[in-house]
Chain A
Amino acid sequence: MTLDLHAVPLRRSPWRLWGGLGLAVLAWVVAYRVNGPLWRWVVDDLFGFDPNSRWGAALEFFTYDSVKILLLLGGIIFAVTVLRSFMSVERTRSLLGGRREGVGNVAAAGLGVVTPFCSCSAVPGFIGFVAAGVPLGITMSFLIASPMVNEVAIVLLYGLFGWKIAALYVSAGLAVAILAGWVIGRLHLERYVEPFVFETTLRGQPVDLSGPLSWAERFAIGRAEVGTIIHKIWPYLVVGIGIGAAIHGWVPEGFFVQYAGPDNPLAVPIAVGLGIPLYSNAAGILPLVEALHAKGLAVGTVLAFMMSVVALSVPELVLLRRVLKSRLLGVFVGVVAVGILMVGFLFNLIL
Chain B
Amino acid sequence: MNIKVLGSGCVNCQTLEKRTAEAVHLLGLDAHVEKVTDYAAIAAYGVMTTPALVIDDQVVMAGRVPNVADLQTLLGATR
Tell me whether B62 and A207 are in contact (CB under 8 A).
Answer: yes
How far is it, in angstroms, between the C-alpha of A205 and the C-alpha of B44 when the chains are bound? 11
Q: Size range of the interface on B?
A: 20 to 34
Residues of A close to B59: CB separation below 8 A? 207, 209
Residues of B close to A129: CB separation below 8 A? 48
Digitize B33-47: 1 where CB-to-A-CB distance is under 8 Å, 0 elsewhere. Answer: 000000110111111
CB < 8 Å neighbour of A127 from B43, B58, B74: B43
Shortest C-beta distance, B22 to chain A (Å), equals 16
Whether A121 contacts B44 in the complex (CB less than 8 A), given A3-B74, A322-B39, comes out as: no
Digitize B1-20: 1 where CB-to-A-CB distance is under 8 Å, 0 elsewhere. Answer: 00000001010100000000
How far is it, in angstroms, between the C-alpha of A155 and the C-alpha of B47 when the chains are bound? 30
Whether A209 contacts B58 in the complex (CB less than 8 A), given A124-B47, A200-B40, A202-B46, comes out as: no
Tell me whether B61 and A209 are in contact (CB under 8 A).
Answer: yes
Whether A125 contacts B49 in the complex (CB less than 8 A), given A202-B43, A207-B59, A207-B62, comes out as: yes
How far is it, in angstroms, between the C-alpha of A4 and the C-alpha of B55 when the chains are bound? 12
Q: A204 an interface residue at 8 Å Cβ cutoff?
A: yes
For chain A residues 118-133, which have a beta carbon within 8 Å of chain B? Answer: 118, 120-121, 123-125, 127-129, 131
Residues of B close to A4: CB separation below 8 A? 60-61
B48 to A, closest residue via Cβ: A128
Q: A117 an interface residue at 8 Å Cβ cutoff?
A: yes
How far is it, in angstroms, between the C-alpha of A101 and the C-alpha of B40 when the chains are bound? 26
CB < 8 Å neighbour of B46 from A88, A116, A123, A207: A207
Tell me whether B46 and A117 are in contact (CB under 8 A).
Answer: no
Tell me whether A206 and B60 are in contact (CB under 8 A).
Answer: no
Residues of B close to A199: CB separation below 8 A? 40
Tell me whether A203 and B49 are in contact (CB under 8 A).
Answer: no
Shortest C-beta distance, A134 to chain B (Å), equals 11
A225 to B, closest residue via Cβ: B64
Digitize A50-91: 1 where CB-to-B-CB distance is under 8 Å, 0 elsewhere. Answer: 000000000000000000000000000000000000001110
Q: Size range of the interface on A?
A: 35 or more
Digitize A163-206: 1 where CB-to-B-CB distance is under 8 Å, 0 elsewhere. Answer: 00000000000000000000000000000000011011111111
For chain A residues 315-346, which have a beta carbon within 8 Å of chain B? Answer: 322-323
Whether A203 contacts B60 in the complex (CB less than 8 A), given A3-B74, A8-B74, comes out as: no
Shortest C-beta distance, B49 to chain A (Å), equals 5
Shortest C-beta distance, A277 to chain B (Å), equals 21
How far is it, in angstroms, between the C-alpha of A89 and the C-alpha of B48 when the chains are bound? 7
Tell me whether A203 and B61 are in contact (CB under 8 A).
Answer: no
Tell me whether A118 and B74 are in contact (CB under 8 A).
Answer: no
Q: A1 an interface residue at 8 Å Cβ cutoff?
A: yes
Digitize A195-232: 1 where CB-to-B-CB distance is under 8 Å, 0 elsewhere. Answer: 01101111111110100000000000100100000000
Q: A93 an interface residue at 8 Å Cβ cutoff?
A: yes
Tell me whether A203 and B77 are in contact (CB under 8 A).
Answer: no
How far is it, in angstroms, between the C-alpha of A120 and the C-alpha of B13 when the chains are bound? 11
A319 to B, closest residue via Cβ: B8
How far is it, in angstroms, between the C-alpha of A7 and the C-alpha of B72 when the chains are bound? 11
Shortest C-beta distance, B44 to chain A (Å), equals 6
Tell me whether A3 and B48 are in contact (CB under 8 A).
Answer: no
Q: A5 an interface residue at 8 Å Cβ cutoff?
A: yes
Residues of A close to B49: CB separation below 8 A? 88-89, 116-118, 121, 124-125
Tell me whether A124 and B58 are in contact (CB under 8 A).
Answer: no
Tell me whether A127 and B73 are in contact (CB under 8 A).
Answer: no
Tell me whether B44 and A201 are in contact (CB under 8 A).
Answer: yes
How far is it, in angstroms, between the C-alpha of A128 and the C-alpha of B46 when the chains are bound? 7
B12 to A, closest residue via Cβ: A120
- Enumerate 10 A-B pairs (CB-CB under 8 Å) in ascending A order: A3-B77, A4-B60, A7-B74, A88-B63, A90-B48, A124-B42, A127-B39, A127-B42, A209-B63, A221-B64
B residues sitting closer than 8 Å to A (CB atoms) are: 8, 10, 12, 39-40, 42-50, 52, 58-64, 66, 69-70, 73-74, 77-78
Q: What are the 10 closest A-B residue pairs judged by CB atoms, nearest first? A: A127-B43, A128-B48, A8-B73, A89-B48, A207-B59, A206-B46, A207-B46, A8-B70, A120-B10, A125-B48
